[in-house]
């Protein structure tokens, strides 16, 4: 009789070594790290190779990639139809492209606008500083202090305006003449030194009141106001102001009154000197509708005038 042996089942547990293989997750993390480092070094490169206005323009470009607000519901056409590949050339130049370029890139437009805005701000500060210096000089100068009520200073869109106005018993010119009073010459001599402190150009404008000039040969308040403005220009040059700083000399007669309620108020008889901004100077030179009147020597007055 054969002996039946029991079946023995051996269970073997397969041990898995931990820490040997991690799959592909580390590659994703490494790629993210490399991308972040590339972005970091790109930022460092931009900071090192661009100016402040260019950096501001680049920042503005990423906030608003287009300089214009589009309204069309249809995508821009490309080589493969609407929305397809663009036919515009992508410029991949070096750092010089940021400042040179072709002028059609949005960040170049933003850089130019930012630089112009900074220049306007510096110009505004120069004019405000000049106005403050003038006010201090008027209060301290023995030559100007008696006439401080006749010197009016303010900032206008065209620039710093300096107005020398008549008073009832203290006119700037002889009656009906372009001959300056001695104290008017002293005022203009003092002003010429301050005007030379800034690079801006100036315009001079002569004004009269509404009292008609009773003269002959067609001489009127228009010619008188222009002659007075030109007399002020000559005196400023004698005081040391650079001749090239004068951009415009105009006579406006009584067309722009200071006191519209009282057209014959002496304050309407004045000389206006504007230290112009660059924009105002460009507009003055480009505006062919406001060319200066022909300047001429004043005729001997035959009667009272403004």
pLDDT tens across the length of the chain (306 residues): 556 677 777 677 666 555 555 567 888 888 889 999 998 888 888 788 887 777 777 777 776 655 544 444 444 444 444 444 444 444 444 444 444 444 455 677 777 888 888 888 888 888 888 898 888 888 887 777 788 888 999 998 899 999 999 987 789 999 889 999 999 998 999 899 888 888 889 999 999 999 987 666 788 999 999 999 999 999 999 999 999 999 999 999 999 999 999 999 999 999 999 999 888 888 877 764 444 444 333 444 434 456
DSSP letter assigned to residue 75: P
pLDDT confidence of residue 59 = 75
Query: Which pTM value belongs to this model?
Result: 0.58
Q: Tell me the C-alpha to C-alpha distance, in Å, between residue 181 and each of 69, 170, 211.
A: 59, 9, 20
CATH superfamily of the domain spanning 116-290: OmpA-like domain (3.30.1330.60)
Place of tokens 């104290």: 183
Q: 202: closest CA among 281, 289, 259?
A: 281
What tens digit of pLDDT does each residue of 241-279 get? 999 999 999 999 999 999 999 999 999 999 999 999 888
First to last CA, the chain: 156
C-alpha distances (whole Å) from 187 to each of 156, 215, 226 are: 22, 29, 19
Cα three-residue angle 177-180-182, rounded to 5 degrees: 145
The rounded distance, in Å, linking the Cα atoms of 1 and 53 is 107
Which of 284, 211, 204 minimizes the C-alpha distance to 254? 211
Residue 76 is predicted with a pLDDT of: 46
Residue 13: the pLDDT is 64
Instruction: Enumerate the β-bridge partners of residue 204.
Output: 249, 273
Give the side-chain half-sphere CA count within 13 A for 180: 23
With the CA atoms of 281, 275, 305 and 299 taken in that order, what torsion angle do they form, in degrees rounded to the nearest 10? Answer: -70
CB atoms within 10 A of CB 24: 6
Joined tokens for residue 253: 């007669």
Predicted pLDDT at 268: 94
Provide the pLDDT for residue 259. 93
What is the domain partition of the chain in residue ranges? 116-290
- The pLDDT of residue 172: 92
- 3-state secondary structure (DSSP) of residue 151: strand
pLDDT at 207: 96
Residue-level pLDDT at 149:
86
Q: Write out pLDDT tens, residues 123-132.
A: 888 888 889 8
Report CA Rg, the chain.
38
SS3 14: coil
Residue with tokens 């970091």: 40
Q: How far apart are CA 71 and CA 76, in angstroms?
A: 12
Collapsing DSSP states into helix, strand and coil, what is residue 106?
A: helix
Sign of CA dihedral 173, 177, 178, 179: negative
């Amino acid at each position: 009789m054969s002996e039946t042996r029991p079946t023995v089942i051996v269970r073997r547990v397969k041990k898995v070594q931990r820490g040997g293989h991690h799959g592909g997750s580390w590659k994703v993390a490494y790629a993210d790290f490399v991308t972040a480092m590339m972005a970091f070094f790109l930022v460092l490169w931009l900071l090192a190779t661009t100016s402040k206005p260019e950096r501001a323009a680049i920042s503005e470009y990423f906030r608003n990639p287009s300089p214009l607000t589009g309204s069309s519901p249809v995508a821009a056409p490309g080589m493969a139809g609407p929305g397809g590949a663009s036919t515009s050339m992508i410029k991949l130049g070096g750092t010089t492209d940021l400042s040179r370029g072709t002028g059609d890139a949005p960040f170049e437009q933003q850089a130019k606008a930012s630089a112009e805005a900074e220049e306007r701000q510096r110009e505004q500060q120069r004019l405000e500083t000049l106005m403050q210096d003038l006010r201090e000089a008027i209060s301290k100068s023995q030559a100007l202090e008696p006439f401080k009520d006749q010197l009016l200073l303010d900032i206008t869109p065209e620039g710093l305006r300096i107005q020398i106005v008549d008073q009832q018993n203290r006119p700037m010119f002889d009656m009906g003449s372009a001959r300056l009073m001695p104290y008017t010459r002293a005022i203009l001599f003092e002003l010429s030194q301050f005007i030379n402190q800034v690079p801006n150009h100036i315009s001079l404008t002569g004004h009269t009141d509404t009292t008609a000039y009773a003269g002959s040969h067609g001489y009127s308040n228009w010619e008188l106001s222009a002659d007075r403005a030109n007399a002020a220009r000559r005196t400023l040059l004698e005081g040391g102001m650079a001749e090239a700083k004068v951009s415009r000399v105009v006579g406006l007669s009584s067309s722009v009154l200071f006191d519209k309620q009282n057209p014959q108020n002496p304050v309407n008889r004045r000389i206006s000197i504007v230290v112009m901004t660059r924009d105002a100077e460009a507009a003055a030179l480009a505006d062919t509708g406001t060319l200066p009147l022909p300047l001429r020597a004043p005729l001997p007055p035959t009667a009272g005038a403004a």
